[in-house]
A and B are shown apart, each in its own frame.
Chain A
Amino acid sequence: MALKSRIYQLFLLLCTAAVFSLAVPAFAAPVDGQAGAALTGPNVVPPAPPVLEPPKATTATTVAYPDQAPKHTDPVVVRIKILVGSDGVVKKVNLISPPQPIFDEAVVAAAKGFHFQPATYGGKPVPVEISFTHTFLPPPPPAAPPPDGGPPLITALRGKLVEKGTRAPLTAATVTAIIGEKKYTVEADQRGRFRLPLPAGEAKIVISASGFKAFVQREVMVPQQEVGVAYYVERERYDPYEIVVYGEKRREELSRITLRGAEIKQVPGTFGDPFRVIQTLPGVSSIISLLPFPVVRGASPGSTGYLVDGERVPLLYHLLAGPSVIHPEFIDEVQFYPGGAPVTYGGYTAGIIDGKTRRARSDEQLTDVDANLLQAGGLIRRPIPAIDATATAAARVGYPGMILSLATDQASLSYWDYQFRLDGGNPRKGWTLFAYGARDEVDGPAPTSTATNVVLQPILTLSFHRLDLRAYYGQGAYDATFRLIGGLDGTDSGGQVIDVKVLEPSARVRVRQSEKLDLVAGLEGSLKDYTSTIGGNTNGAPTGITALLPGTAIYYQGGALAEALWRPGPKWLIRPGVRGDAYYDGTTTLKSADPRLAVRYKIGSRDLPDAPTASDDKGIWLKAGLGVYHQPPRLFLPVPGYDVLPLRFGLLRAIQSSFGAEIPVTDSVQFNIEAFYNDMNPVVFDFTTNASNVNKAAVASLVPSGTVSTSAQDQSFDRLLTPQQGRAYGLETLLRRQSKNGLYGWISYTLSQSLRLRDNSWVPYDYDRLHLLNLVAGLPLPRNWDIGARLQYQSGKPTTTTAGYNTARTDGYFRLDVRIDKRAVWNKWLFDFYVDLTNVALFPEEIVPGATIRYVLPTIGVRGRL
């Protein structure tokens, strides 16, 4: 009961706090895009994360000033996109700046002659698209040829060219000195250094380099003296997501949506939190718009997996609804499966949300500090040559209680988290150590408090720690990964404590038998040693959910999986797989077998010049899947210690099926459509709150406190514990544009229904929403601006009327969010700030019939990066 009330208190506090800012900083990290499907899964070994090495120019990337250029007094900037093939040859050049004839042609013609050392992804050459900008400076007045060949070069300008803000050497740049009417030029070397012998006099220095703003300086050159200087040249745009990998993608997944870069860190209304973006995707609805726990394809939030590199995170969001517990800099991409997840993911009957971290490069250095109204944090990354590894350490401290204290002195909130990571070796023969954890605290009035002297004490603390050791080994056609995870989870509710010790070993092997066949096999294990001071009451009628918990228990889980990725021809992918799991908690043994099948068939190809020849991106694909999914009983919200509930409640099972198509519209626009039908039987711990009939009040708590009754099946607590039958079906569409330099975003629409069998008739699930619409758009602008907007509409939730249980609906709601990011460039570092307005128009949201909230969350965040 205590925990129930604590969680309820926390929820109410969060709803209050939601009126204020919820903020995490925008982290715009360089992204190594990833291509192709990964060998990943929950509770199992993730793949060795591949590393992208960008292409390097092997020839000069200068552009000659066109002879026929029209006169101009301002610099002329030409921007293009270059598709660099896996052989390093320029495959295609696209103009992206407004037309400027002659200048455009000069740049395009020059770019076609560039040659690169190809980009590599996981050590293999891949085609990539890069942006290239060239600035034509106005030509100086023609200098009359000196009768004697010019004055003697009796001095010199020497120095280096540095990128302002990042201090990276500026290469492929031209230094021009104009003295009198005569020009002297020199090219900077690969380290940005130059030396230019000059005559004495006042010199106008002009530096021109592709992608950089015009640079002008004046120097006084004194005879017999050399001037040494470092010029800090500013880029046209400091884009944190420099390179987009187009791939040679081999599409292996049925329904996966992968988001990366700005898509996960700059979407309005998400506070820069990668995991919150999932709520804008097809098939995802909300309990309440601000709560980040999704209802995926009509399933209770507890059936969806919240993972980092395939490992379940016991507490994904601070204080259940705040920022995520992992520093966003670690998250490279987020993979979302609304359904049809492969056998590498076990233990969930609904969707999978998997945040993928990336290996730090061996030479990578970064210092990053951030602050906003709710939290402050820092991250530092440095190579450690002695152990051939790169270390990354990060920590954040949250102080939302400071803001909350403006509204009430009866409660306070605080949290912290940490991450430490070592990446050693290389992606195919390497290792990773990743330690992370978090602690949240909710304070309430102590018993000694009085109305005039409020003393706060902890009433709820949630904490967890994880140590994740991974080793990768790849040779030839074999890739193996081994993983060992240890952890501690804890929940302390006013002295009532739950502690869980976790140990999870796993191993996985992938073998490429031939071009047509890949085989994957894996073993997984889990041991959770559970102790509680609040459980053990298994006799008599429970009085709350905590009374259902054991005093002590050890949960064992073992699993094995195998699957094949078979391509009998270029148009087919057939992916059968099966996983088996066994669970034991000292009293109950449960077993499950999950066969799954995914099939893709290419019915045609689109003529997309930017896509590599053999890329699956060109194909128009039909896809279908059918699979069985089991999971152990767990609480509907991720709370440390409640990850596994007693097995006597039985396993949840779902049979997921889907059929859809993927259609490339253009090189950068993709349309996906998918119909699904999920049979959920049984459903246990289904998150329900609606009143059973109009004579009964709605359940006013996240954790129902009713008693188990043998007759009154309309009690919500009964519904929580009693196995039910459910089904969900619908149609999901996603029109998505991916772009590095231009407009990106998506329109997702879902028409669906989720039902539960109740008194022999199918009725809508408490959080069923018929229509889900999201419009997300982001646009990079000159001078390091980024703007974005998001519009969301969700139908109302079912509600009970005199006609019966869930026979009407609350009003649907709209939400409009906007976000503006600005990157300011200092001499030796970068300074970011953003403004994020969630629900700018304060559109109302009817939580329950007759109770409507209006809110706006204005947020400002800042970050320094060097």
Chain B
Amino acid sequence: MSIAPIGKSALRTQSWTLAIQAFCAAVLAVGALLLPATAHAAPAETLAEAGTAVDAPAVATVEDDALPFKLSLPTEEDRVAWQRPGFRMALGLEYGTLRGLDGAPSGRIFGAILRTGARLDTDWSLLLSFHYASASATGGLAALRFAGTLDPTWHVNEHLELAAGVGFGGLVESSTGRADPYAAQRQTLDVSITYPKASPPVSTCSGLGPAGLLRAGWMQLIGPLASTGIVLEVQGQWTGCVVSVGRTEADTAKALVQRQWWPLAGATLAWMVQWR
């Protein structure tokens, strides 16, 4: 059985998939939850059938199914509802840049965000963010960039929120088109090797490492169940790249690999829709 690592086309498709799903999420944002939250209340029907007895109004003649329906009036302000503790989920689209440091390659970021967690009280939330994006540039990254961070979030006021998060982040690359500075060495390696610097970068990078972010968001309530807003994030990650040379140690069957650590930092702007 032979299964190739994720290829460039697959990465491109992942990006498309993410974009499509994010688009669907945006549609859902409006369709699924906003409308129920703003469902109209029909006016009550007043029956004109007059009764003659002062204390015994006439029996209605309208069938039950024809009765106009009404929903409850709001029982609390949206702002108060959003400050209540409870579960939160947000989906969003992000766009920005990821810069390779110390010689690591760079790329533009376009992808999706899933953020979920709990509003703890009026001031604080504890959220978990997942980022999946394409990071690409000619001669630079051709990667799926992913990250997951735990973000304590401070709600400065009804609109502004600030957060800092730490977690994991990584890249998955396949055929990048970058030159392979270690091609000759790749043919002769009989043990795995770790390069001490990020320059020159390996031709492909797939790996994981620590990541962190700082976030500032401006959210606008659009009902008791949904809000939307713009989020600015500054991100950093230190990715342990692993490149298989395609051979294994004969005695142990462990893959022979080249390793390299890439420091990367970036900034993105995201549009988010959040539900409670």
A160 to B63, CA, bound (A): 11
A232 to B70, CA, bound (A): 6
Q: Is the CB of B18 within 8 A of A858?
A: yes
A74 to B84, CA, bound (A): 12
Residue B77 at the chain A interface, CB threshold 8 Å = no
Q: Is the CB of B57 within 8 A of A850?
A: no
Residues of B within 8 Å of A689, CB to CB, are 1
Q: Is the CB of A229 within 8 A of B67?
A: yes
Q: Is the CB of B2 within 8 A of A851?
A: yes
Residue B252 at the chain A interface, CB threshold 8 Å = yes
Residue B220 at the chain A interface, CB threshold 8 Å = no
Residues of B within 8 Å of A408, CB to CB, are 9
Residue B73 at the chain A interface, CB threshold 8 Å = yes
A831 to B114, CA, bound (A): 20
Residue A193 at the chain B interface, CB threshold 8 Å = yes
The segment out of B21-29, B100-108, B195-203, B264-272 that lies at the interface is B21-29
**B68 nearest CB neighbor, chain A only:** A229
Residue B182 at the chain A interface, CB threshold 8 Å = no
Q: Is the CB of B72 within 8 A of A233?
A: yes
A783 to B75, CA, bound (A): 15
Known A-B contacts A154-B54, A810-B253, A820-B89; the reply to A231 vs B69 at CB < 8 A is yes
Residues of A within 8 Å of B39, CB to CB, are 826-827
Q: Name the interface residues of A804-848: CB closer than 8 Å to any CB of B.
A: 808-810, 818, 820, 822, 824-827, 831, 833, 835, 837, 840-844, 846-848
Q: Work out how many contacts link A and B, with CB atoms closer than 8 A.
A: 249
Q: Name the interface residues of A229-267: CB closer than 8 Å to any CB of B.
A: 229-234
Residues of B within 8 Å of A214, CB to CB, are 72, 75
Residues of A within 8 Å of B46, CB to CB, are 220, 222, 225-227
A288 to B2, CA, bound (A): 12
Residues of A within 8 Å of B12, CB to CB, are 406-407
Mask: chain B, 239-255; 1 = CB below 8 Å from A; 0 = not: 00010111110111111
Q: Name the interface residues of B2-50: CB closer than 8 Å to any CB of A.
A: 2-6, 9-10, 12-14, 16-18, 20-21, 24-25, 28, 32-33, 35-36, 39, 41, 44-50
Residue A856 at the chain B interface, CB threshold 8 Å = yes
A800 to B64, CA, bound (A): 75
Residue B71 at the chain A interface, CB threshold 8 Å = yes
Q: Is the CB of A835 within 8 A of B70?
A: no
Q: Name the interface residues of A361-384: CB closer than 8 Å to any CB of B.
A: 373
Residue B177 at the chain A interface, CB threshold 8 Å = no
The segment out of A545-553, A642-650, A695-703 that lies at the interface is A695-703
Residues of A within 8 Å of B49, CB to CB, are 225-226
| A273 vs chain B, min Cβ distance (A) | 19
| A355 vs chain B, min Cβ distance (A) | 28
A628 to B60, CA, bound (A): 73
Residue A59 at the chain B interface, CB threshold 8 Å = no
Residue A590 at the chain B interface, CB threshold 8 Å = no
A216 to B76, CA, bound (A): 11
Residue B146 at the chain A interface, CB threshold 8 Å = yes
A808 to B76, CA, bound (A): 64
Known A-B contacts A19-B6, A851-B2; the reply to A831 vs B32 at CB < 8 A is yes
Q: Is the CB of A702 within 8 A of B1?
A: yes
**B52 nearest CB neighbor, chain A only:** A224
**B146 nearest CB neighbor, chain A only:** A842
| Chain A count of residues within 8 A CB distance of the other chain | 98
Residues of A within 8 Å of B62, CB to CB, are 228
Q: Is the CB of B60 within 8 A of A852?
A: no
Q: Is the CB of B69 within 8 A of A827?
A: yes
| A864 vs chain B, min Cβ distance (A) | 10
Query: Which of A219, A231, A406, A824 is the one whose CB lies under 8 Å from B33?
Result: A824
Residues of B within 8 Å of A787, CB to CB, are 87, 116
**A835 nearest CB neighbor, chain B only:** B114
Residues of B within 8 Å of A606, CB to CB, are none
| B162 vs chain A, min Cβ distance (A) | 24
Known A-B contacts A229-B45, A373-B17, A406-B16; the reply to A193 vs B64 at CB < 8 A is yes
**B245 nearest CB neighbor, chain A only:** A850
| A743 vs chain B, min Cβ distance (A) | 14
Q: Is the CB of B75 within 8 A of A216?
A: yes
Known A-B contacts A225-B46, A407-B9; the reply to A862 vs B28 at CB < 8 A is yes
A229 to B59, CA, bound (A): 14
Query: Which of A216, A232, A840, A853 is the one whose CB lies under 8 Å from B5?
Result: A853
Q: Is the CB of B112 within 8 A of A858?
A: yes
Known A-B contacts A781-B87, A831-B32; the reply to A850 vs B75 at CB < 8 A is no
Mask: chain A, 633-645; 1 = CB below 8 Å from B; 0 = not: 0000000000000
Residues of A within 8 Å of B252, CB to CB, are 801, 808
Residues of A within 8 Å of B170, CB to CB, are 841-842
Q: Is the CB of A860 within 8 A of B28?
A: yes
Residues in A lying within 8 Å of B, measured CB to CB = 11-12, 15-16, 19-21, 74-75, 152-156, 158-160, 162, 164, 193, 197, 213-220, 222, 224-234, 288, 373, 403, 406-408, 689, 694, 698-702, 781-783, 785, 787, 799-803, 808-810, 818, 820, 822, 824-827, 831, 833, 835, 837, 840-844, 846-856, 858-860, 862
29 A-B contacts (beta carbon < 8 Å): A21-B17, A21-B21, A164-B71, A214-B72, A217-B73, A219-B44, A224-B50, A226-B57, A227-B44, A227-B45, A228-B60, A229-B67, A231-B72, A234-B71, A403-B17, A698-B2, A801-B252, A802-B251, A810-B253, A818-B116, A824-B33, A827-B71, A837-B114, A841-B170, A842-B146, A850-B245, A851-B3, A858-B132, A862-B32
Q: Beyond A803-B251, A850-B245: 13 further Cβ-contacts under 8 Å?
A: A197-B56, A217-B70, A701-B1, A785-B87, A808-B252, A818-B116, A833-B32, A835-B89, A841-B170, A849-B255, A851-B4, A851-B5, A859-B21
